[in-house]
């Protein structure tokens, strides 16, 4: 029996585009951040991520291998965005203490605020094992050296001490997380951190560590 020439051939579904490895990683990280935001860090497992992303478990395991590997990847993703924002702002900033201090404060608070309440949970989870704590420490050291380099021209030739920079980082984390949790506003966090950074450099310039 011949087919009716007046009937249109059935439509075939367009083939799904296969994501590149880089695009798949970006998708998985975005879904992971959403999971942490909606359900908390405790709910983030490789199996749950596969389910939410609509992929098989082997796909997720191929990218992260373990849950600690996933947590480390999330922190790296956050750190890379923070670094990009800060680097771009430093290039545009005035070569003054106030200009550099404002960039450091604004960039740190903005990145944590943008990530919302997810990043404190990820940071807390990173402290759950020596390996994850080491990864966090490595990224902190890079951030501290970047700040040291940006602020050094305004320290009257005095090296900015590690204790002062660690205090600055602690204040940055505490103020940013308070802003993300709604305890204070982002501008309040930025202004307070700006004053702390400026004060530590000025104190350092007078030789008082």
Do 125 and 71 meet the contact criterion of CB atoms below 8 Å apart? yes
pLDDT at 56: 94
Range of the domain at 137: 72-205
pLDDT at 158: 86
Tokens of 130: 């020596």
pLDDT at 13: 47
Tokens of 134: 């080491």
Tokens of 37: 């935001």
Which pLDDT tens digit goes with each residue over 60-79?
A: 999 998 998 899 899 889 88
> 132 and 166 share a domain?
yes
Domain count, the chain: 2
Helix (H, G, I), strand (E, B), or coil: what is residue 158?
Answer: coil
Do 147 and 171 meet the contact criterion of CB atoms below 8 Å apart? no
Phi-psi region of 77 (alpha: psi -120 to 50; beta: other; left: phi over 0): alpha
Tell me the CATH number at 171: 1.10.357
Evaluate whether residue 13 is within a structural domain.
no
> 78 and 60 share a domain?
no
pLDDT at 114: 76
> 96 and 54 share a domain?
no
Which pLDDT tens digit goes with each residue over 171-194?
A: 999 998 898 888 999 999 999 999
Q: What's the rounded mean pLDDT across residues 110-124?
A: 77
> 51 and 106 share a domain?
no
Query: How far apart are alpha carbons 92 and 80 in whole angstroms?
Result: 19
Query: How far apart are alpha carbons 36 and 44 in whole angstroms?
Result: 6
pTM comes to: 0.75
- Chain mean pLDDT for the chain: 86
pLDDT at 1: 45
Tell me the CATH number at 24: 1.10.10.60
Measured at the CA of 107, the angle between CA 95 and CA 136, to 5 degrees, comes to 115
> 105 and 23 share a domain?
no
């Amino acid at each position: 029996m011949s087919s009716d020439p007046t009937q249109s051939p059935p439509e075939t579904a367009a083939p799904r585009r296969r994501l590149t490895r880089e695009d798949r990683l970006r998708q998985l990280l975005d879904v992971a951040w959403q999971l942490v935001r909606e359900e908390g860090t405790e709910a983030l497992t490789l199996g749950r991520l596969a389910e939410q992303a609509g992929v098989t478990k082997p796909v997720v395991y191929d990218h992260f291998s373990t849950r600690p590997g996933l947590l480390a990847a999330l922190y790296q993703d956050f750190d890379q965005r923070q670094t990009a924002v800060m680097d771009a702002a430093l290039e545009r900033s005035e070569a003054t203490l106030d200009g550099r201090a404002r960039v450091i404060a604004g960039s740190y608070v903005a990145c944590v605020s943008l990530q919302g309440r997810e990043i404190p949970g990820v940071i807390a989870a990173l402290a759950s094992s020596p390996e994850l704590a080491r990864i966090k420490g490595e990224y902190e050291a890079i951030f501290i050296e970047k700040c040291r380099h940006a602020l050094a021209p305004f320290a009257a030739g005095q090296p900015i001490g590690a204790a002062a920079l660690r205090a600055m980082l602690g204040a940055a984390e505490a103020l940013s997380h308070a802003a993300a949790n709604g305890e204070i506003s982002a501008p309040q966090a930025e202004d307070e951190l700006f004053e702390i950074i400026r004060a530590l450099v000025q104190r350092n310039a007078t030789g008082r560590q």
